[in-house]
Structure 1
Amino acid sequence: MDVAVTKEWLVQQLQNEQVKIVDCRFELGDSDKGAELYHQSHIPGAFYFDLEKQLSAPVSKHGGRHPLPNIDQFKREIENFGIDHTKTVVVYDSGECQYASRFWWLLTYIGHENVYILNEGFKGWVEVGYTTTSEIPVSEASTFNPVVQQDMLASYDEVKGIVTEKSKSTILIDSRAKERYVGEVEPIDKKAGHIPGAINKCWTDALEQGSFKNKEEQKKRFSELDPHQPIIVYCGSGVTATPNYIALKMAGYQNVKLYAGSYSDWVSYDENPVVTREEFQK
């Protein structure tokens, strides 16, 4: 499965009206920074999507720190920028790929079949001296008819059932850094550790210098996993798990879902157990 394009390809498409470009730069801890960077300079023709304002719903008691946006609202947002089923969409962030992957997952989830991530992101674009602009593009509105891919999303109840039943039939993958997985540190969520039964595959290992590793390298990352077993990926809030979702699909795994609420949703229920290094070494 091809999920990414190169800057060399994209620079040739800047005048192609069938290609829509989306800027998803964002900085956790400074929620205005991404929009500021966009207004300073961006790839010509790019429209801005904000992680917290457009790619997430408002935070509530449950649902995690970045709940999925309302589908109708997201539909209107992409229609306003002229995105429909006929367009090829290329999305980028600063080069981390996590925010671009969130947009890729969302657009794929509602049925768009031609969305790609720009390898190396804006950083790679600037480093080779390609054109940037501060001009905000305009576009004629379009019509997009969502066809939600329910098999891409795992609900809280589904994850809860797997944990409660101690089911081995579904693989849970925690996409966070190892120190958060084992509970050594937890800088954001109220309880350290991981969901019982989850294995750790850090999302950054899917990438190399801002680009997705190739299919064969992704296969090696997951080589111990049964390709016939269902897999659910999660992270802290449903953002950094999306590169792992993409990597698994690249590696040929078919039955993959995202637990969008992720760990922050799991620990929002006080009764839910978590596992730390001390507990799983007993």
Structure 2
Amino acid sequence: MGYIMESEELLSMFNRGNIRICDCRFKLGASDMGRNEYEKEHITGAIYFDLEKDLSGKVEEHGGRHPLPNLGQFKDKLESYGITNDTILVAYDGGEGSFASRFVWLLTYMGHRKVYILNGGYRAWKERGYASDDRLPHYEPAEYHLQIRESVLASYQKVKDFTERRPDDVVLIDSRETKRFLGIEEPIDKKAGHIPGAINKVWTNVLDEGSFLQAEELKQTYKGISRDKEIIVYCGSGVTAAPNYVALKEAGFPNVKVYVGSFSDWISYPDNPIG
């Protein structure tokens, strides 16, 4: 099994005690929406993780708009939900794919081995008429041990070195919409364009109405990129790069990293060039 789990498979696992379903619904620009939707209704037994309060840290001069969270505090939250290193984690969002993918990548970085994304998110679950309610679950606390996997994280310095040396064995992928990549349109960040040397693989192209494409289709999406290469993916703030990370892994690429700071971190250094 890769990172993708279908609704039917999750349903079959409902009676297992070692599973936690993680609601990651969120809306940029309306930060309370996800939590409000969760409190109204969610998959039975699900717990909530907020993109900006849980899956991201404090915004500072550098680090981008959604930097890594304080891992000690995040570990405490996992423990409060009774999550151990052996717990099966299944994340979902509203069907966008990006917020749940951020959770999946973050837990992978923390060393978790059994973390999955619910394909199609809450929308797909509801369409099938599966169990949901508004009850807030309670779980007994547990112990969680961080086992950081640096191999899935690309540092700012790593990306900086790429732009200066352009090594043949590294591919830098910009996950944003093409207009933003080309610098034609920039609705969020203070500068327009892309990190020099990057190619554009728009994150929405790995999804079909919120569900990830099949592995063979994903291989075609990245056709022309050798699996022997080291792949670094970024976006505006490290969120929509995550679906590309998931998709690349599903397509069989072994060495994939996320530059969490992404373009918003890159442009926080005024002397950095822009393509």
Same fold (TM over 0.5): yes
Q: Where does 1:219-258 land on structure 2 (aligned, <5 Å)?
A: 219-258=219-258
Aligned equivalents of 2:230, 2:187: Cα separation in 1: 30
Match of 2:100 in 1: 100
Match of 2:64 in 1: 64
Match of 1:268 in 2: 268
- Percent identity, aligned pairs only? 51
Shift of 1:167: 3.2
Shift of 1:192: 0.5
1:104-138: per-residue Cα shift (whole Å, max 9, x none)? 01111111111111111111111222221111000
**Contact 1:14–1:44 under 8 Å retained in 2:** no
Aligned equivalents of 2:11, 2:225: Cα separation in 1: 38
Aligned equivalents of 1:130, 1:222: Cα separation in 2: 34
Aligned equivalents of 1:130, 1:255: Cα separation in 2: 36
SS at match of 1:172: strand
Aligned equivalents of 1:164, 1:111: Cα separation in 2: 31
Amino acid across the alignment from 2:106: L
Match of 2:119 in 1: 119
Aligned equivalents of 1:57, 1:2: Cα separation in 2: 27
Aligned equivalents of 1:36, 1:50: Cα separation in 2: 11
**Contact 1:35–1:48 under 8 Å retained in 2:** yes
After superposing the two structures, state which structure 1 stretch, 109-118 or 7-16, moved more. 7-16
Aligned equivalents of 1:262, 1:152: Cα separation in 2: 14
Shift of 1:16: 2.1
Match of 1:3 in 2: 3
Match of 1:194 in 2: 194
**Consecutive unaligned residues in structure 2, runs of 5 or more:** none
Match of 1:172 in 2: 172
**CA separation of 1:4 and 1:166: change in aligned 2, threshold 3 A:** closer
Amino acid across the alignment from 1:264: S
Aligned equivalents of 2:96, 2:31: Cα separation in 1: 16
* TM-score, normalised relative to structure 2: 0.97
Matched, 1:131 2:138: no
After superposing the two structures, state which structure 1 stretch, 154-163 or 123-132, moved more. 123-132
Amino acid across the alignment from 1:101: S
Aligned equivalents of 2:106, 2:73: Cα separation in 1: 12
1:196-217: per-residue Cα shift (whole Å, max 9, x none)? 0000001111111221112111
1:238-282: per-residue Cα shift (whole Å, max 9, x none)? 01101101111111111111100000000111111111xxxxxxx
Please tell me the root mean square deviation across aligned C-alpha atoms, in Å.
1.1
**Contact 1:14–1:45 under 8 Å retained in 2:** no
Aligned equivalents of 2:64, 2:222: Cα separation in 1: 26
Aligned equivalents of 1:164, 1:52: Cα separation in 2: 32
Shift of 1:15: 2.9
Shift of 1:169: 3.1
* TM-score, normalised relative to structure 1: 0.95
**Consecutive unaligned residues in structure 1, runs of 5 or more:** 276-282
Match of 1:280 in 2: none
Amino acid across the alignment from 2:254: Q
Match of 1:44 in 2: 44
SS at match of 2:43: coil
Amino acid across the alignment from 2:30: D
Runs of 4+ aligned structure 1 residues displaced above 4 Å come to: none
**Contact 2:169–2:228 under 8 Å retained in 1:** no
Aligned equivalents of 1:158, 1:5: Cα separation in 2: 32
Aligned equivalents of 1:70, 1:23: Cα separation in 2: 20
